[in-house]
Chains A and B, each alone.
Chain A
Amino acid sequence: MKSRRNILIVIAALLALAIITPFSSSYVITLITHALVFAILAMSLDLLLGYTGLPSLGQAAYLGMGAYLTAILASNYGFGLGWSFWAVILLGMLLGAATAAFFGLFAIRATGVYFLMITLALGMCVWGLAYRWNSLTGGDNGINLPPRPEFGISLANDVTFFYVVFGFFVFTLATLYVLVRSPFGRTLEGIRERELRMRILGYNTWLHKYIAYIIAGAFGGLAGVLWAQMNGLVSPEDVILTTSVDALLMVVLGGPGTLVGGAIGAAVVTFLRDYLSTLVHWWQYVLGGVYVLTILYLPGGLIGIPERVRNWRVRRGRKAAVPSH
């Protein structure tokens, strides 16, 4: 009952977004599209952080893989500029998954802060490659992409591109939603809560974590493909630690273990970073303040606010109902 109501709210919000966005100014459209791409990355990370309890600091690596693949295919081979765009999407997800499958061999054995450190180091490896492998990645200049793909529809049109990204966002949300409610998804929560018990109950927890890590990598790769098309530029700056930290903060800010929370976090961070920064120069303090306040006072993230308000109302209602002496 409760979850059905929540689903309805999410669907209503998505519909509203789909209907209203085209009427916004062209800058707002790009901001929303930008937030949606990062929402995909944040949700992929939420699968690890919120559901499996794995705090990865290397999610930018998969975004980078998808983005560089897209840029290299497009600028060196002219591939992915028509219908083959869909092939690039698939390849980007595969490359993200393959990278995660490789990195996972090192990362999954560790837990807690060690997992954090290893994923951070692996993420830096990808950044190092992007920065140093000049002949392939263009070094610190990065790669400029040719104009966005065209296949009957032209993705160069902002509204069209928004709908395509929106579609991928909904696809990611729906897929991950089914996943976390599937038998497999529930095992991830069990691992988060108490891994040792899961092993005793007959689960090969390493394998479950490994699979989750690969899936998260695949969606990270998807975000990367869209990111490359969004900016028309792929640079080592996209793969740098800041991107991974941003993704982590988006999840923590919105509310881990909810998927939608990651999307809300992505929207808030994108807005603060890209819009507030054009208004005031001390926007970084605002961002920092929001993070600190959320972590201190809203452990469940922004998505926990309605629940808190309800509880507060109930408490106040009760107090009011007590007759005064």
Chain B
Amino acid sequence: MKEKLTGRLGWAAGVACFALGMGAGTLPASAAEELRIGFLAPLTGPFAQIGKDMANGFQLYLDEAGGSFAGAKVTFVVEDGEGKPPVNVRKAEKLIRQDKVHMFIGGLLASTGYALAPVSTRQKTVYVSSIAAADDLTQRDSAKYPYMVRTGWTSSQPSHPFGQWACEQGYKKIVTVAADYAFGYEVVGGFQKAFEDCGGRIIQKMWPPLGTKDFGPFIPQIKKDADAIFTLMVGPMALQLPKQLKDAGNKKPVIGGGTSYDEYVLPSMGDEVVGHVSALQYSAAIDTPKNAAFVKKYRSKYGKVPSYYSESNYTTAQMIHEVLKKTGGKWPGAEKFVKMMSEIRIDAVRGPVRLDEMRNPVQNIYIKKVEKKKLHGYPQDELWNTVIKTYPAVGQFWKYGKADFLKQPVYSRDYPPCKYCE
């Protein structure tokens, strides 16, 4: 019996040594001329394809730069966050503790952004939010996250100019149909604020649940006296609503948030979306040589037109590269890096980009109309988000001023209140 007991203890010791071995395998904290970057994206689950687009964008830039930024060899570690905030947190901890990354990038959903930002504070590690757009990360909660930089957008950022634009088109009454979660509230909220400040009226707000495929219960309720319909869809929802609106005989103009028509969903759509208008900081149809080159490179490598998911991460890599150029390839430390990053001004694929003092991009917002045409020298007719108006250098506070804007609560299901709904 004693022999058996020692045998078991031997096993336990073996396991323990293995555990120690895993520890010993990790890298020293600051090897010279190496930049370790962790990347979090959903690689399994319903958002897996978007996750791949995100990582591909970053990878494309890295490949162009020859795998190193200003002499610093880049180690790029991609982890699967499964689209779930708690998993993202655990994977971020892994990247920081095991891979000793200098920074981690990514996170798709707003909820993931809210989950990852505190990790950066806790671990004093830089977090670059390239996609997750939750407003408050760089607004009311910004002070809590000193190690966070955003290179993407805030959800309401394109909505403000878009509200203005809709008003200028002469729309007086608009109905909104938007996915029932925080991102939807923020996109609709920004649009409502700007639209109503200009004299328009939101007369009805509908909130189908995230993932709705059958809009049968919602479409007949849309008020007949509306001048236009504003939608905010994500993923498969985006494909269904335009079809079902058309089948229901809708004649009203349809406009929407950027994700309703971004290049991720556009190739799967049909002619029913032609003429629909949306707003975002990027369109694959931007008519600049820089963008045309980017689209061609990306498309030849990955077989599809890049969406903002890819462009945003491509630009993120470019911005990091710019910082490293200034330091001569040396990692400047987390605080310094954040400071330097917020002073970067670049001419990105999407247009000029700089960061405001709360570390959110100030950038062009494009009003885009879906058109079927040939572009960038491709032979076949395809759907493109043709830019019809550009609002230059739009910040997250639009024309409201930072102080006034931050006095109002974050956009939600109940804010701004629907004054003209009855």
A interface residue numbers (CB < 8 A to B): 5, 8-9, 12-13, 16-17, 20-21, 23-28, 30, 32, 34, 134, 139-142, 144, 147, 156, 231-233, 235, 237-238, 274-275, 277-278, 281, 284, 306
Closest Cβ neighbor of B25 among chain A residues: A25
Give the chain B neighbours of A34 by CB distance below 8 A: 90
Contact B23 A25 (CB under 8 A): yes
| In the complex, B97 has a CB within 8 A of chain A | yes
Chain A min CB distance to B413 (Å): 7
- How many chain B residues touch A (Cβ–Cβ < 8 Å)? 42
B interface residue numbers (CB < 8 A to A): 1, 4-5, 8-9, 12-13, 16, 19-20, 22-24, 26, 43-44, 79-80, 84-87, 89-91, 93-94, 97-98, 109-111, 114-115, 118-119, 122, 134, 181-182, 210, 413
Using A13-B8, A25-B23, A140-B210 as known contacts, list a sample of 17 further A-B pairs with CB atoms less than 8 Å apart, ordered by residue number in A.
A5-B5, A12-B12, A13-B12, A16-B12, A16-B16, A17-B16, A24-B19, A25-B22, A30-B97, A139-B181, A141-B111, A141-B115, A142-B85, A233-B115, A274-B94, A275-B94, A306-B8
Q: Enumerate 15 A-B pairs (CB-CB under 8 Å) in ascending A order.
A: A9-B8, A21-B19, A25-B98, A27-B98, A28-B19, A34-B90, A134-B413, A140-B210, A141-B115, A144-B115, A147-B122, A156-B122, A233-B89, A277-B80, A278-B94
Closest Cβ neighbor of B144 among chain A residues: A144
**Is chain A's interface secondary structure helix, strand, loop, or mixed overall?**
helix
Chain B min CB distance to A144 (Å): 5
Contact B20 A237 (CB under 8 A): no
Closest Cβ neighbor of A140 among chain B residues: B111
Given contacts A23-B20, A141-B111, A281-B44, contact A235 B97 (CB under 8 A): no
Contact A27 B86 (CB under 8 A): no
Contact A237 B84 (CB under 8 A): yes
Give the chain B neighbours of A233 by CB distance below 8 A: 85-86, 89, 115, 118
Contact A8 B5 (CB under 8 A): yes
A147 CA to B98 CA, complexed, in Å: 21
With beta carbons under 8 angstroms apart, the residue of B89, B97, B110 that contacts A27 is B97
Give the chain B neighbours of A24 by CB distance below 8 A: 19-20, 22-23
Closest Cβ neighbor of A4 among chain B residues: B1
Number of A-B residue pairs with CB-CB distance less than 8 Å in the complex they form? 109
Give the chain B neighbours of A237 by CB distance below 8 A: 84-87
Give the chain A neighbours of B118 by CB distance below 8 A: 144, 232-233
Q: Which of A9, A23, A233, A306 has most chain B Cβ within 10 Å?
A: A233
Chain A min CB distance to B193 (Å): 20
Give the chain A neighbours of B98 by CB distance below 8 A: 25, 27, 278
Closest Cβ neighbor of B16 among chain A residues: A20
Closest Cβ neighbor of A32 among chain B residues: B19
Q: Which of A20, A24, A34, A141 has most chain B Cβ within 10 Å?
A: A141
Contact A28 B23 (CB under 8 A): yes
Given contacts A16-B16, A281-B80, contact A231 B90 (CB under 8 A): yes
A284 CA to B43 CA, complexed, in Å: 12
Give the chain B neighbours of A23 by CB distance below 8 A: 20, 23
Give the chain B neighbours of A147 by CB distance below 8 A: 122
Give the chain A neighbours of B43 by CB distance below 8 A: 281
Q: Which 4 A-B residue pairings sit nearest by Cβ, starting from the closest?
A: A25-B23, A27-B97, A27-B98, A20-B16
Chain B min CB distance to A76 (Å): 15
Q: Which of A13, A30, A156, A235 has most chain B Cβ within 10 Å?
A: A235
A17 CA to B22 CA, complexed, in Å: 15
Contact A139 B19 (CB under 8 A): no
Contact B97 A5 (CB under 8 A): no
Chain A min CB distance to B397 (Å): 22
